[in-house]
Every structure is written in C-alpha cells, then in structure tokens.
Amino acid sequence: MKNVLIYNQTTTNMEVLKIFLVQEGYQVYVMSQLPDVVQRLRSKDIHLVIMDIDFPKNDGIERLKAVRNAERMPIIVLSANDTEQMKIAALNAGADDYVLNPYHPMEFMARVNSQFRRYTQLSNMCENIDRIYRVDELIIDDVIRKVTVSGREVKLTPIEYKILRLLVKERGKVLSIDQIYESIWHMQAIGADNTIAVHIRHIREKIESNPKEPHYLKVVWGTGYKVG
C-alpha cells in the first residue's frame, strides 16, 4: 500500500485531491494538527507527505522543518504564495517540491507519482547497500550472493557462503563452533567440531592467499572463529 499523509493547515478543500490520490492507488490520511502528523510519521508507514500551508503565516517554515525532521520521505508543499523567496525558503527547509494553489490535479498527480518513484528507488538502493559486506578486499554482495576477493570471484558452496556471511556480519566477534553450527543448521550442535573445521578449511583455501596464515578467517584457539 502507498500511504500519503496530507497536512491540511489551511481551509482548502482536499476532497478533489484525495479522490485523485485514491484512484492512483494511494491510501490517504488527512490531518490538521502538527503533533498528530509527527506522531503518525514516526510509525514509519507513510511514504509521502503533502503539506497544504499558508506561507508565511502560522509559522509555515517552522512546521515544514518539524515534519522534515520527523522522517525522510518526500514532502510536497502546496501553497498559494507564489513568491520566489518563499519557494526557495520552503525548499531549503526540506520540501522536495513546491506547487502553487490553485493547481491542475493531473499535473499534481504526476508530481506525486514522480516523488514516490524516486523515494521507492532510493529506498531499494539503500536496502541493497545494507546487504553488501566488506572486509578489506573481501566483498560479499548478499543481493546477488556473490563473493569476491581483490576483484576475483570466489565460488563457495551454499553452506560455505552462509558460514562466511555469518562471520563477516559479526566481524571482530568470536563465534564458537556451536554458535556457528546452530546458526547455519538450526539444530543443536552435537559433535560439530569436525564439520565446522572442514568447512572453514575449504573457505580459507578459496579466499586466502595463504590459507596457513589467514588474513580474513582466523581461529581463536579454544574459543572459535572470527573474521577481522
């Protein structure tokens, strides 16, 4: 669901705009009190905000800043103030777009859809970035499940990949053999020492330039394994 919040600070009738938004597949929430708006934004389920503000009255810029500080979704300002100075002030305060009222509903919807697409693409990019792990020249791209070392692709089995990803995500932390086994196989570790040792040896042979003196995957004697 695409959720839009309209902060209606003026007396403008939002029904026409609401109809267009609903026809485009948006769920619309209309609010007139700033504290209610900020509280709703913090619930993380609003994807775009339309602020119908009477600039420069009623601390419009300060209200815009308060909404911007609450979350990072796109904000479209709707205002009857056509001065260049006010438009610049609104954009500097955090607005992503500034639309004069009265407006053409179809043009306004095009702006809404454009901002929503941009936001969705950026969110997907950020999500993917969060799934790329790097330790020096070792890179795990968990989006496409690819491992490279110094630009060279490394072919790991599914279990080897899961073990390496686990240790890289927990970089610097020593994980015991039981912790590794139970995280990967999701069952109690009984006699897992040899199983983990074999997989660790195979991973080292593939990612280390000298497996006998590993740079990435290290043993902590009597405790377990770690990366970094």
153 and 193 co-located in one domain: yes
Domain identity same for 137 and 73: no
Same domain, 24 and 95: yes
Query: What DSSP letter does each residue of the chain carry, written as one string?
Result: -EEEEEEE-SS---HHHHHHHHHTTEEEEEE--HHHHHHHHTTT---EEEEE--TTGGGHHHHHHHHHHH--S-EEEEES---HHHHHHHHHTT-SEEEESS--HHHHHHHHHHHHHHHHHHHHHHHHHTTEEEETTEEEETTTTEEEETTEEE---HHHHHHHHHHHHTTT--B-HHHHHHHHH-S--SS-HHHHHHHHHHHHHHH-SSTTS-SSEEEETTTEEEE-
The model's pLDDT over 184-226, given as tens digits with 9 standing for 90+, comes to: 888 887 878 888 999 999 999 999 999 999 999 999 988 999 9
pLDDT one-digit tens code per residue, 143-198: 888 999 999 999 998 889 999 999 998 988 999 999 999 998 888 878 788 889 99
User: Where is the domain boundary, 129, 151, 173?
Assistant: 129
- In terms of domains, do 218 and 179 share one? yes
Q: What is the pLDDT of residues 21-64, one digit of tens each?
A: 999 899 999 998 989 998 888 777 888 999 988 776 668 888 89
Domain limits for position 184 = 132-227
Asked which of 84, 106, 129 is the last residue of a domain, the reply is 129
Domain final position from 86, 102, 129: 129
For the full predicted model, state whether its pTM sits above 0.75: no
Share of the chain above pLDDT 90, in %: 39
* CATH code of the domain covering residue 76: 3.40.50.2300
Are residues 167 and 122 part of one domain?
no
